Amino acid sequence: MLKVRGIDRALMRMVNEAARDSLPNEFAAMLREEDGVVQELVLLPGTLQGKDSATLMLHMMPIDYSIVGTVHSHPGYSNRPSRQDLELFRRSGYVHVITCLPFDEGSWRAYDGAGRPLRLPVVDL
Ligand SMILES: [Zn+2]
């Protein structure tokens, strides 16, 4: 069922840069895959950015089956999903990435729709 085999290294670098630029707020976007690799961000209009939560406006989500999940940043040192994150994961796909400080290659983690850690290899396209 899982059609995603990895995430593009350049995309993850872009996410971490956006996360840094968004401080002290969170950064949030949807993830799109192509050929089994997550390689594009979809920014939703009306996405609220706050210190504690990045609320994705799911009703604004285009009908697009290449969107596989979400990514957001935590302005702290934990990349564990909050209770609201788990609720978001459950409703919006099966690949979810949370990155945290210091926003580098080792500071993010992927989860499935149930909030379980997901192995998501970094690939170079
Ligand atoms: Zn979160």
- Render pLDDT for 2-47 as a digit per residue (tens, 0 to 9): 689 999 999 999 999 999 999 998 899 999 999 999 999 998 766 6
Q: Is 31 helix (H, G, I), strand (E, B) or coil?
A: strand
- Identify which of 81, 22, 69 has the alpha carbon closest to the alpha carbon of residue 49: 22
- CA of 78 relative to ligand 1 center, distance in Å: 9
- CA of 5 relative to ligand 1 center, distance in Å: 23
Q: Does pLDDT of 1 surpass 50?
A: no
- CA of 34 relative to ligand 1 center, distance in Å: 25
- CA of 36 relative to ligand 1 center, distance in Å: 25
Taking residues 87-103, what's their average pLDDT? Answer: 94
- CA of 111 relative to ligand 1 center, distance in Å: 12
For the domain covering 6-61+71-117, report its CATH number: 3.40.140.10
- Identify which of 86, 125, 100 has the alpha carbon closest to the alpha carbon of residue 26: 100
User: What mean pLDDT value characterizes the chain?
Assistant: 88
- CA of 82 relative to ligand 1 center, distance in Å: 5
What percent of the chain lies above the pLDDT cut of 90? 70
pLDDT for position 41:
94
- CA of 73 relative to ligand 1 center, distance in Å: 7
- The count of other CB atoms within 10 Å of the CB of residue 92 is 18
- CA of 125 relative to ligand 1 center, distance in Å: 28
- pTM for the complete prediction? 0.89
Provide, for the chain, the percentages of residues in helix, strand and coil under a 3-state DSSP scheme, each rounded to the nearest 5.
20, 35, 45
Distance CA 63, CA 56 (A): 15
Alpha carbon distance, N-terminus to C-terminus of the chain: 23
Taking residues 45-52, what's their average pLDDT? Answer: 58
Q: Does pLDDT of 52 surpass 60?
A: no
Taking residues 105-115, what's their average pLDDT? Answer: 97
pLDDT for position 119:
94
